[in-house]
Amino acid sequence: MDARPTLLVIAHGSRDPRHAATVSALCARVRSLRPGLRVEVGYLDFNAPRVPRVLERLSAEGIREVVALPLLLTRAFHAKSDIPSVLRETTARLPLLTVRQADVLGPSSLLTDALERRLAQAGLRPGDRRSTGVVLASAGSSDPEAIAVIAEIAREWRHTAGWCAVRPAFASASLPRTADAVRELRAEGVGRVAVAPYVIAPGFLPDRIAAGAREARADVLAPVLGAAPELARLLLRRYDRSVADRARGDLAALIA
């Protein structure tokens, strides 16, 4: 049996079938980058299999260690509450299984690399940066920490990439909305406005972002991050960090 922990990617789930298809494609890319690593998917809601069922199956198959990786871009309610609760409740029934929750994906330079890939696919060229304002459109959250992180990503991305401006926007829970952010950039004299969805998979909120971009007549609308190669590498980076942290903890306990 492979001694490496199994990677369990935890996705939120959606009634939109494009969501699960995108998650499957992303996990397939992860497997292609790390042959032999077992990669499973579990959902919190809407889709199957749900996280508890996956963990129960893995335990029954003799798997003893799992890295549970939230497919989330910010550390908000799902990462802080929902996922830990599900993992605690399930592992309490599975005493032979050890599950370690990895960090969320963002922030990371790999994510901004993926955003730039999507903007290039939508037609932006390197020479357009100085005249283009970007709306960094995320799903939104009521968690102040998550909102602050999105704002900081926008500031840092403008600084490092040389965009004319980068403004955060949100599809729910927070303001401004995508259309309002586009209009604000226009009012400030920005000649070209691009909307970059800071979301992984299609669904209701990404569709709301796209509708806002069309309503305000943004010049460019990038696709969602999807199964971008940068995103797949980031999943493996978070997995490796979790495995290394556990190894260091085991070593410290042994020395003590």
**Mean pLDDT of the 136-153 span:** 95
Residue in the structure block whose two tokens are 């996922």: 83
Phi, psi of 176 (to 5 degrees): -85, 160
Residue 256 has pLDDT above 50, yes or no: no
Q: What is the pLDDT of residues 226-238, one digit of tens each?
A: 999 999 999 999 9
Residue 181 has pLDDT above 50, yes or no: yes
Higher local confidence (pLDDT), 78 or 156: 156
Instruction: Write out the E strands in the chain.
Output: 6-11, 39-43, 65-70, 98-101, 132-138, 165-170, 192-197, 220-221
- If pLDDT is split at 50, 70 and 90, which confidence band does 247 have? confident
- The answer to whether residues 206 and 213 touch, using CB atoms and an 8 Å cutoff, is no
- d(C-alpha 245, C-alpha 240), whole Å: 9
What the block records as the tokens of 141 is 């959250």
- The answer to whether residues 3 and 20 touch, using CB atoms and an 8 Å cutoff, is no
SS3 149: helix
Q: What is the pLDDT of residue 3?
A: 83
- If pLDDT is split at 50, 70 and 90, which confidence band does 2 have? low
Residue 29 has pLDDT above 50, yes or no: yes
- The answer to whether residues 182 and 193 touch, using CB atoms and an 8 Å cutoff, is yes
Residue 253 has pLDDT above 70, yes or no: no
Q: What is the pLDDT of residues 51-60, one digit of tens each?
A: 999 999 999 9
Q: What is the pLDDT of residue 255?
A: 47
Residue 96 has pLDDT above 90, yes or no: yes
- The answer to whether residues 231 and 57 touch, using CB atoms and an 8 Å cutoff, is no
DSSP string computed for 151-219: HHHHHHHHHHH--SEEEEEESSSSS--HHHHHHHHHHTT-SEEEEEE--SS-SHHHHHHHHHHHHTT-S
Q: What is the pLDDT of residues 184-193, one digit of tens each?
A: 999 999 999 9
Contacts with 197 (C-beta within 8 Å, 6 or more apart), sequence order: 118, 137, 138, 206, 209, 210, 222, 223, 224, 225
**Mean pLDDT of the 127-131 span:** 95
Higher local confidence (pLDDT), 78 or 15: 15
> Mean pLDDT score of the chain, rounded to an integer?
95
**Mean pLDDT of the 148-154 span:** 97
Residue 134 has pLDDT above 50, yes or no: yes
Closest by CA to 146, choosing from 76, 81, 86, is 76
Q: What is the pLDDT of residue 249?
A: 75
The model's pTM? 0.94
Lowest mean pLDDT across 77-81, 92-96, 174-178, 217-221: 77-81
- The answer to whether residues 84 and 102 touch, using CB atoms and an 8 Å cutoff, is no
**Mean pLDDT of the 134-151 span:** 95
